[in-house]
Each structure stands twice: as structure tokens, then as C-alpha cells.
Amino acid sequence: MTIEVKLSVAVSAYAAFTRIGKKELTPKGSYRVGRLISKLRTEVREWEEQQVKLLREHGGKDEEGSVVLRKPEREEDESDEAFSARVAEHGKNMKALDVAVKAVMDEEVKIDYDPIPLEMFEIKEQDPEDTKKARVRSTIEPNDMSLVLDFVKE
């Protein structure tokens, strides 16, 4: 199955599935999550490379040439006009960075995947209070569940 989602959804799902993959899952669930992480990783790596380019393009530079995003500090003996101009330039660059990041994150990406049934995230265990009963617990935190819903089926 192929799903088309915004890059922002894929990046968030990758982070959530990475956390989920470290938890106790059914063997099938662990396999499915691992496969999906691999497929999402491709998009995330592309995003990370693009993000570095955008930061270099729109960020300021310090004395060593490293990218700096923080607001400039006033230098000793710097005139009001020069400082104001540097602050305005920084603001313009940060706005341009924000616009560029949002544009990239709104891109639609296609992910080829197998939907993961919800029950693969559930662990059945014996109820300690009643040995004849089994109870089911979810291995997914509610916040993570909200980030992976596009990739899960009931």
C-alpha cells in the first residue's frame, strides 16, 4: 500500500515509531515497525540534508564560520544604526528560513508500507489479581499514537 502524507507527518511518525520500536512489541509488530522505520528513514534523511542547506543559506556565521541562528549581540563601540541593521537582517533571514522550512515540510511524500494492525501494539499478559484472566496493555504512549495514526489500522 502507498500512502501520501506531508513530510511533516512522515518526520513526526519516524520519531514516534523509533520510540515505539524500543518498547516491548509482538514479534510481528516489531518486524512491521522496523520495516516502516526503514522506509520513513529515507524521507527523514532527505529532510535533514535539506535542513542543513537551509540553515547554511539563512543562518548567520560566527568567527569560525559556523552557522548561528541566535539574535546578534551588540558589539563594543557599534553604532545604533549598524546594530539595528544587523538585527533587521537577522530577522529577515529568520523569516525566510521559516518560510522555506514550512514549504518543504508541506511537501507531499509517498511511503510504500504495510499498515500495522493496532493489536500488534498490544501485549497480552496474565492478570496478577486473577490468574484465569488475561489483560491487554498497549505499548504505545498516547502522544505517539496520535503521530502514527496514518500508518495504523484497526
pLDDT digits (tens, 9 = 90+) for 114-132: 899 888 877 666 666 766 6
The residue written with cell numbers 539574535 in the block is 71
Comparison of pLDDT for 72 and 105, the residue scoring more: 105
Domain ranges of the chain: 2-115
Cell numbers found for residue 17:
515509531
If you average pLDDT over residues 55-59, what whole number do you get?
A: 86
Q: Within 13 Å and on the Cβ side, how many CA atoms surround 25?
A: 23
pTM of the model: 0.78
% of the chain surpassing 70 pLDDT? 90
